[in-house]
Amino acid sequence: MNGDTNGLVAKLWSYCNVLRDDGLSYQDYLEQLTFLLFLKMADEREAQGKPNPVPQGYRWGDLSGPHMEGSRLEDHYRKTLEDLGKKGGMLGLVFRKAQNKIQDPAKLRQLIVELIGVMGRQPVAVSPALALVFVVQSIERVGDHAKNIAEYVVNVVEGVDLRHADLAEVRRASSGG
């Protein structure tokens, strides 16, 4: 990986950690990043003379403009996700049931302006950086599945549903007694 890609990956992860501290999971972070990147990439298509599938009023420029801050940004992003999810075709599929999971409008603004802005200035770094993010997402999902399988095994062997057990039951089940 080159320096641009390393820098972008570092930014992606540092921002992910900031949002995780606010209660946003990796999955939610990646989902929000995907929505924002879709809007940004549609804008890039238009700059190349190709049609933009996103209707006026919901485009990247509408979301990233300097007038979009605080509750105005949060309301516009929420409405954008909701309205695009009601559209037909691929656009509706991408945004179906989409919700804003970033509760702090200042952090949403920072994600839009800083992180996505860096991606626009370093387009060569975007693909490898996102590939790494999606690898980590896949590893996290494997870990979740392994945990679910372990809980299922304990349930079958010990008759204890760990999802609803108190700490004493979990300790007793894990010690075999």
Does position 107 have pLDDT exceeding 80, yes or no?
A: yes
Q: What are the residue boundaries of the structural domains of the chain, listed by start?
A: 3-175
Mean pLDDT confidence for 17-32: 80
What pTM was computed for the model? Answer: 0.67
User: Which residues contact residue 18 at a Cβ distance below 8 angstroms, ignoring those fewer than 6 apart?
Assistant: 107
Of 125 and 117, the one with more pLDDT: 117
d(CA 163, CA 150): 11
Position 80 pLDDT exceeds 60: yes
DSSP 8-state code for residue 113: I
Return the closest-CA partner of residue 111 out of 4, 15, 1: 15
Q: What is the pLDDT of residue 34?
A: 82
CA distances to 80, 104, 134 from 15, in Å = 23, 13, 15
CATH architecture of 3-175: Up-down Bundle (1.20)
Higher pLDDT, 107 or 13: 107
Give the pLDDT band of residue 127 (cuts 50, 70, 90): low
Tokens linked to 97: 């049931």
Query: According to the model, what pLDDT value does residue 73 have?
Result: 94
Question: What's the pLDDT score for residue 3?
Answer: 65
pLDDT at 147: 81
| Predicted confidence band of residue 58 (pLDDT cuts 50, 70, 90) | very high
Q: Among candidates 37, 175, 49, which has minimal Cα distance to 118?
A: 37
